[in-house]
């Protein structure tokens, strides 16, 4: 593509970033009327957005010349990345633009909660001198629990230590060695909540983390504990948090994010122990400037056909024709493996066997890491940043190749934390198969939800499992039974048609003859 391209900008972007694109010779077309998006997108080679523009499959159908979509920020909920990928449109973002702003806003809310600053301000401006009423507490020598030690969580931990706080953390995907290097003590979720004077949340919003902070968990806290959330709305059950504060279970909270946004109505808003802000975590001039500058650079690189560090979707051109079909399998194995190990192992070994082992398999390793860390962080994970995420989580990556495979033409295996998972492609259409878990052989297509059940090798156990699932309204799409190393035990791999709830999993684990149950998701 030549130097000149039309770049449609549909939302407010820092002018410095747009000037960079103009200086590079591009036509920057600023059109904020989203009602005309389907018309304005025609003929544009680049599209720069923030969070309001919805880039749907319909929009992409009208984008007859689009090469790249740039999101000036982190989240991509408003972009149909799969549809963009199918149409060969690159999607890029600015994943590090707001981490300092979010960490600093966390510290601002931490200090405001400790010293009752908004409440005292409101009282004084209303004509009330309430010096004794708004007595606070010092941060020095208090314990801060950081739930989620990603980039923002680490920055918060560093800043809290500067205030003389003891920092503890919960993050199953950070190794103890890595935490020690940060000067942070890793504990279980119940322990950190129970020991903390302040709890701050820095988790992605996933099925597992939605509603994680609820009344049952808060009942484990000290009555003087205060909660801060600058992560994602919905991780905290707001109704149960309000109830816990009202009942004196904890002392207060400071929230920047909410389950529904925008919102001006919440039981928390009427509580004097609660401080709220309208999702200001990334709302600094510096964060907006960084986002604008970064996305301008990424869009310029994409339009020039050069290497793009923050490309989110797959660039299959990096793989040859032989390797390309294995990329989706590798990424899916990574996602399943993350749920199998339940945390970040010290080492992940990616082993390829057969014909593919004769090629450069590094892109398969990157695809596996992309799947693995995509399951444990809300940051967009790419082939470029996946190795860095592994390093930040204290995970060593090892690659091994074997030119021959005893049983398969090609085989890919992930190992770590005493667990292993193998997959391959079969048939002329290259259908994906899970063929081994922990050295137990199977032949089951991977599914979004899977169960691996180890049981006593005796009649009736499979029936018990089928009955429990049937009673819960769970159908079985695929299933295979493999032998275990111990001749007295057997292993089932089941692909149900939907997610199996926690209550059913608990019933399975307590059923006669059942030794263990692993729930896998991807």
Catalytic residue list: 232, 261, 279
The strands making up 489-496's β-sheet, listed across from edge to edge, are 476-483, 489-496, 449-456, 514-521
- CA dist 459 → 2, 96, 454, 510 (Å): 70, 56, 14, 17
Is the Cβ–Cβ distance between 366 and 389 less than 8 Å? no
Q: Which helix (H) or strand (E) holds 2?
A: none
Q: Roughly how many angstroms between the first and final C-alpha of the chain, as a whole number?
A: 37
Query: CA-CA-CA-CA torsion for 264, 99, 77, 263, nearest 10 degrees?
Result: 0
DSSP string, 221-243: S-TT-EEEE-S-TTSB-HHHHHH
Neighbours of 101 (CB within 10 A): 21
Q: CA 414, 91, 147, 174 torsion: positive or negative?
A: positive
Which of 25, 29, 23, 22 shows the shortest CA–CA distance to 44? 29
SS3 363: helix
Token pair of 9 as six digits:
């900008």
How far is Cα 418 from Cα 197, in angstroms, rounded to an integer? Answer: 36
Which of 41, 95, 103, 96 shows the shortest CA–CA distance to 69? 41
Token pair of 335 as six digits:
């996602």
How far is Cα 420 from Cα 436, in angstroms, rounded to an integer? Answer: 8
Whether a cis peptide bond, with omega within 30° of 0, leads into 131 is no
The residue count for the chain: 522
Is the Cβ–Cβ distance between 434 and 340 less than 8 Å? no
């Amino acid at each position: 593509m030549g130097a000149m391209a039309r770049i449609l900008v549909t939302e407010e972007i820092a002018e410095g970033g747009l000037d960079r694109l103009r200086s590079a010779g591009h036509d920057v077309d600023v059109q904020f009327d989203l009602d005309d998006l389907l018309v304005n997108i025609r003929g544009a080679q680049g599209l720069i957005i923030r969070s309001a523009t919805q880039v749907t499959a319909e929009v992409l159908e009208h984008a007859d010349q689009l090469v790249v979509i740039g999101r000036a920020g982190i989240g991509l909920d408003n972009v149909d990345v799969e549809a963009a990928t199918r149409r060969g449109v690159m999607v890029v973002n600015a994943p590090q633009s707001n981490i300092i702003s979010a960490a600093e806003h966390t510290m601002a809310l931490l200090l405001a909660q400790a010293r009752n600053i908004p409440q005292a301000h409101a009282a004084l401006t209303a004509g009330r001198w309430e010096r004794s009423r708004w007595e606070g507490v010092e941060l020095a020598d208090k314990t801060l629990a950081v739930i989620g030690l990603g980039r923002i969580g680490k920055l918060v931990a560093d800043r809290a230590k500067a205030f003389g706080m003891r920092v503890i953390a919960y993050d199953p995907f950070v190794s103890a060695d890595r935490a020690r290097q940060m000067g942070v003590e890793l504990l279980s979720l119940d322990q950190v909540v129970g020991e903390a004077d302040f709890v701050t949340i820095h988790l992605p919003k996933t099925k597992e983390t939605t509603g994680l902070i609820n009344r049952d968990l808060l009942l484990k806290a000290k009555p003087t504990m205060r909660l801060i959330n600058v992560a994602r709305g919905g991780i905290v059950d707001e109704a149960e948090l309000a109830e816990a504060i009202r009942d004196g279970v904890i002392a207060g909270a400071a929230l920047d994010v909410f389950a529904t946004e925008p919102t001006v109505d919440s039981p928390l808003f009427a509580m004097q122990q609660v401080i709220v802000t309208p999702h200001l975590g990334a709302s600094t001039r510096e964060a907006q400037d960084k986002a604008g500058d970064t996305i301008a650079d990424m869009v310029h690189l994409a339009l020039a056909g050069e290497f793009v560090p923050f490309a989110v979707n797959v660039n299959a051109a990096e793989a040859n024709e032989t390797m390309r079909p294995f990329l989706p399998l590798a990424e899916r194995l990574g996602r399943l493996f993350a749920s199998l190990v339940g945390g970040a192992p010290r080492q992940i070994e990616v082993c390829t066997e057969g014909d593919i082992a004769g090629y450069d398999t590094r892109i398969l390793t990157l695809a596996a890491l992309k799947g693995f860390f995509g399951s444990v962080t809300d940051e967009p994970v790419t082939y470029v940043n996946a190795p860095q995420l592994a390093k930040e989580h204290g995970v060593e990556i090892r690659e091994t190749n074997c030119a021959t495979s005893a049983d398969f033409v090609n085989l890919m295996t992930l190992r770590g934390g005493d667990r292993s998972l193998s997959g391959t492609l079969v048939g002329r259409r290259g259908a994906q198969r899970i063929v081994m878990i922990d050295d137990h052989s199977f032949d089951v297509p991977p599914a979004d939800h899977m169960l691996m059940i180890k049981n006593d090798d005796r009649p009736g156990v499979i029936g018990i499992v089928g009955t429990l699932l049937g009673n819960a309204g769970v159908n079985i799409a695929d299933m295979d039974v493999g032998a275990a190393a111990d001749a007295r035990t057997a292993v089932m791999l089941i692909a149900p048609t939907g997610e199996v709830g926690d209550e059913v999993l608990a019933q399975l684990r307590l059923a006669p003859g059942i030794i263990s149950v692993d729930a896998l998701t991807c």
